[in-house]
């Protein structure tokens, strides 16, 4: 789809071995509200983390996952917006930097693996340009629109401790957080 698929061909060739599914942190949790640290280098340990994040995201299932959502305060993201039945098209993003956002806006319903069961329409720039390091530590720049643009902005927000509910009215945000707290308490009782 669009501008970003061309350079991903090598990344798709991943051998998916020794992957683990990690626990996903749910709001409210302080790790989701911290500004994450830049990654100094894309080494084997980080690749392992990214593989596990991808597996966790596919298992959830979701189309994007940021490291703080598995309790790791690093600027690392995995995304795959391919549809069911299509070939997988994972995008590994390290140290993301949005270097351009369009003036044109777009409203899209968003959800988040850290806020299960809650969805709301969020207005964001329709297009963006992202600079990042890929799975091999190579610098990349992509321009994204549609769902990928929304997904990138949502996940980069995670790296800055921002959740999609922060764009809603205080009333709506407080109501969702209240429900999440209640759901967590119910889980503890069971
Ligand atoms: Ni999210």
Interval between CA 111 and ligand 1 midpoint (Å): 7
Residue 40 CA, ligand 1 centroid: distance in Å: 24
With 0-12 / 13-18 / 19 or more C-beta atoms within 10 angstroms meaning exposed / middle / buried, residue 11 is middle
Which residues constitute the domain of residue 13?
Answer: 9-189
- How many independent structural domains does the chain possess? 1
Question: Mean pLDDT of successive 10-residue segments in the chain (190 residues)?
Answer: 38 58 96 98 96 96 97 98 91 98 98 97 98 98 98 98 98 97 87
Domain holding 179: CATH number?
3.90.45.10
- How confident is the model at residue 1, as a pLDDT? 28
Instruction: Report yes or no on 65 lying in a domain.
Output: yes
Q: Report if residue 20 sits inside a domain.
A: yes
Q: Is residue 2 part of a domain?
A: no
User: 3 lies in a domain?
Assistant: no
Q: How far is the CA of 131 from the centre of ligand 1 (A)?
A: 20
**Per the domain annotation, does 4 fall within a domain?**
no
Residue 155 inside a domain? The answer is yes
Residue 115 Cα to ligand 1 midpoint, Å, equals 7
Distance 65 CA to ligand 1 centre (A): 6
Q: Domain for residue 153, yes or no?
A: yes
- Tell how far the Cα of 153 is from the centroid of ligand 1, in angstroms: 10
Q: What is the pTM of this model?
A: 0.90
Say if 154 falls within a structural domain. Answer: yes
Ligand 1 centroid distance, CA of 187 (Å): 21
Q: Is 155 a catalytic residue?
A: yes
Residues 24-67 pLDDT 10s: 999 999 999 999 999 999 999 999 999 999 999 999 999 999 99
The active-site residue out of 27, 55, 110, 155 is: 155
């Amino acid at each position: 789809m669009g501008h970003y698929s061309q350079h991903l061909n090598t990344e798709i060739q991943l051998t998916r071995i020794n992957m683990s599914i990690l626990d996903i942190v749910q709001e409210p949790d302080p790790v989701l509200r911290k500004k994450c640290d830049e990654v100094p280098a894309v080494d084997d340990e980080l690749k392992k983390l990214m593989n596990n994040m991808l597996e966790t995201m596919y298992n959830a299932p979701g189309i994007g996952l940021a490291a703080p959502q598995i309790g790791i305060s690093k600027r690392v993201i995995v995304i795959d917006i391919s549809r069911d039945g299509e070939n997988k098209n994972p995008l590994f993003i390290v140290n993301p930097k949005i270097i351009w956002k369009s003036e044109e806006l777009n409203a899209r319903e968003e959800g988040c693996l850290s806020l299960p069961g809650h969805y709301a329409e969020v207005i964001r720039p329709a297009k963006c340009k992202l600079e990042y390091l890929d799975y091999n530590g190579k610098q990349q720049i992509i321009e994204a629109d549609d769902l990928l643009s929304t997904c990138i902005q949502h996940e980069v927000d995670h790296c800055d401790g921002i959740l999609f509910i922060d764009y809603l009215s205080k009333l709506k945000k407080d109501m969702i957080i209240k429900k999440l707290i209640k759901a967590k308490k119910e889980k503890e009782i069971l």
